[in-house]
Amino acid sequence: MPKKTQAPTTQAPPTPTSPAPSSREAGGSEQANAVTTSSVRFTNSNSSSNTATTTATTTATSLKQTLKQRNTTTSNSNGHDLTNGHRTRTDSKMGEFEDSADNSGSDSSSDRTEQLDEFSRWRNAVQPYCPSYSVAFKTIFLVRALAATYSNISDCDEVFNFWEPMHYLQYGSGLETWEYSPLYAIRSWAYILLHALTAEITRLALTFLPSTFAMYTTMLFFSQMLQPPRQHSAKRTFWAIFWVGLGGLLGWPFSAAVGLPFALEELLIHSRNQSKKKTVRFRDWRRIRFLRLVTSAIAVLGCVLIPIIVIDRYYYKKLVVVPLNIVLYNVFGGDVGPDIFGTEPWWFYILNGILNFNVLFIAALVSLPALLVTYYAIPDALPNSPNSPGEIKDLLLLFSLKLSPFYLWFAIFTAQPHKEERFLFVVYPLICFNACMTLFMVQKLVQRGLDRFVTRSKTAAIHKYSAGLVWVVLIAAAALSISRILALHEHYSAPIDVYRKAFDLVKVPGPIVIGGAVDPTVVAAAAATLATSEDGSVNVEASKKPEVVRVCVGKEWYRFPSHYFLPEGAKLGLIKSHFDGLLPGEFLESANASGELPPLEAHPSANAGKTHRPFRIDWRWSADRRPGTSHIPLLMNNENKEVQEHYTPLEQCQYLVDLDYSGRYTDKEDSTTADLIEPRYLQDKENWERLYCTKFLDTTVGAGRHPLIRAFWIPDKITVALTRGQTKVWGDYCLARRRATPSV
């Protein structure tokens, strides 16, 4: 058998003298024997051209065997032959090259080398691009770093339900929502503790919503679902259930719905096993799969749910099962369920999906119809063709189950009256998968349709044009996505910018380190400044312990990005606005400012004359140092009823963050008293001094009223043309400081 060479060489190798190997030695391939026979025929000639021809033919055989081995390895490792179409085209091209070798044995060595070079170029051209792990990791890391730096916090629930409790756990102060009251306990401290430890170690910003956490676990789960079912290995089943269970128990319980199609696939799809172990009898495989599902689910419950219950028991000081409480509230809440926070029409998720995924979301929605058309029109175009031996036969059922998690999730949450954008985060990876499947099948349909109207010589051009169609769709989706990102940053990034400045502009009296030591004179002077009254006298008691500096917000409360953007010693104050629902309160802080815990009282022991002290875990984030985790706030409720005690009097606010839409008012209008509940504080220049301002898009006047203008970034000239001469009108998003004395 001729030896394999990696590339054609200019020097002719020694002429082989051994006879042609048998088909068993050649791997059982008839085509390989034909090529080898041609190689022997060429070696019987004593010319240099025949020697070069032998080299070319031998190299072609090597290339074909390498391609066949790679395709077989890909099929066996992934379970589904996703390179079926590419392999068919490669074998066809290789067959043409072999026929040319057999029919033109008298060709010169230069012609044969040119043919080999042409085949190599063709093979590299049709090879699908797949980035290395290093390139993929660097690209994804770059995107995540940019998102962490420039993205807006678009959901106030992420701030008040997760960032604020983590701030309380780390620093002892933060805002508390009713979900953390031990009476309701529908938020897990185990989830907060996990992210707090991660943030403490890595010092990196995290995406904190449970639906986002469930999105990560869904992606990892689906990586297991893409693998074929196995008869003799439970690894795929366990890890799929583990990721679903982790996302459902620690993150969001409803994310477990995406795992239902996986269970059906385990019980309905009987793939042929490539293992050398004894084949499972056909009537036993469903029973084995079912037992595997049950045992994996029990194992995941034990290793995930039990630690969650233990941690929540430690912080809440009572036994609670938070995932169960979440399901009971959202499903069986009745009049106090999630619908009291607002409802949306049935098309809400369709509009939101198109806004965030544009054409790819439409492609994801039509993936199942595209599958039906492709299966009945050109079934051989699907990956893992039914004609492939040893593979799954019912491809329609197989791919329907692969596409169904997205449809199942979409149907369940479309039927719910209460809808939020974050609920769709869980299936973001599935949207991408379904969209890719649609593009793949549409490309095959276009190729097969054009094949009917052109000659065979133009097949390569058809494949090129159909691949170009996919690139057009991807480039259009990328362009729209970039436009969306730029619009969000330009139109709505003002709150993040202002609070970043607030960290430096808000002055809080406290220890000032100079050369590694605290300067007590500066501390005393800063404390006395806040304690000075209007007549110039100093309150000695107030100077010893200055009051907390309040940074207040009114109508802009839901854009507050958390206390991480305020310096230590500054707290958020909520002032009255038109919102009449329940706003968060403050966690109960430790009575001892130094953080030292009082000694535990000794209790009589069972042994006479001896006492014992209860065991206590004393660490910085312990439940004893954070009493608010188990404290029951008296004014909290789960009915979204307003609590007046959560408001801060305006007189106690040293700083103010507010948004002023100057474009909505005329110069002659007395705008300072136009709204008694939400006055234009920034226009009150006698009491407030602007420290930092940036622009924020006004969506009620000017070009901002146009949905496309505010949703996507469009150049100004095109904006003026679309809105018939209107331009964007901006409001002022500002940080203001209360003036020490009214100006004359």
Average pLDDT score over residue span 133-140: 88
- Whole-angstrom distance, CA of residue 657 vs CA of residue 655: 7
What was the pLDDT predicted at 204?
A: 62
Whose tokens are 């990102």? That residue is 485
Structure tokens at 669: 């209008």
Res 565 pLDDT > 90:
yes
Residue 142 has pLDDT above 50, yes or no: yes
pLDDT above 60 (res 513): no
CA angle 101, 105, 108 (to 5 degrees): 95
* Closest of 160, 158, 159, 153 to residue 584, by C-alpha: 160
Predicted pLDDT at 229? 79
| pLDDT reported for residue 38 | 39
pLDDT beyond 90 at 325: yes
Q: What is the mean pLDDT of residues 353-362?
A: 94
Can you tell me which residue has the tokens 């008040």?
160
Q: What is the pLDDT of residue 424?
A: 92
Q: How confident is the model at residue 459 (pLDDT cuts 50, 70, 90)?
A: low
Predicted pLDDT of residue 622:
87
Between 47 and 693, residue with greater pLDDT: 693
Rounded distance, CA 355 to CA 348, Å?
A: 11
Percent of the chain with pLDDT over 90: 46
What token pair was written down for 363? 């492609």
Mean pLDDT over residues 314-334, rounded? 91
Query: Once rounded to an integer, what is the mean pLDDT over residues 453-463?
Result: 67
Quick one: tokens of 728? Answer: 């964007």
- For residue 695, what is the enclosing H or E element? strand 688-697
DSSP 423-472: GGGGGHHHHHHHHHHHHHHHHHHHHHHHHTTS-GGGHHHHHHHHHHHHHH
Q: pLDDT for 571-606, tens place per residue?
A: 999 999 999 999 999 999 876 544 555 554 555 544
Lowest mean pLDDT among 32-36, 502-506, 740-744: 32-36
Q: Higher model confidence: residue 114 or residue 426?
A: 426
pLDDT for 109: 57
Split at pLDDT 50, 70, 90, the class of 406 is: very high
Residue 206 has pLDDT above 80, yes or no: no
pLDDT of residue 596: 54
Structure confidence at residue 75 (pLDDT)? 42
pLDDT at 272 over 90: no
Q: What is d(CA 135, CA 150) in angstroms, rounded to the nearest whole number?
A: 23
Q: Which stretch of DSSP H or E encloses residue 730?
A: strand 730-738
Residue 634's pLDDT is what?
A: 87
CA atoms within 13 A on the CB side of 279: 9
- In 542-636 the beta strands, taken as DSSP E runs, fall at 549-553, 570-574, 585-586, 603-604, 611-612
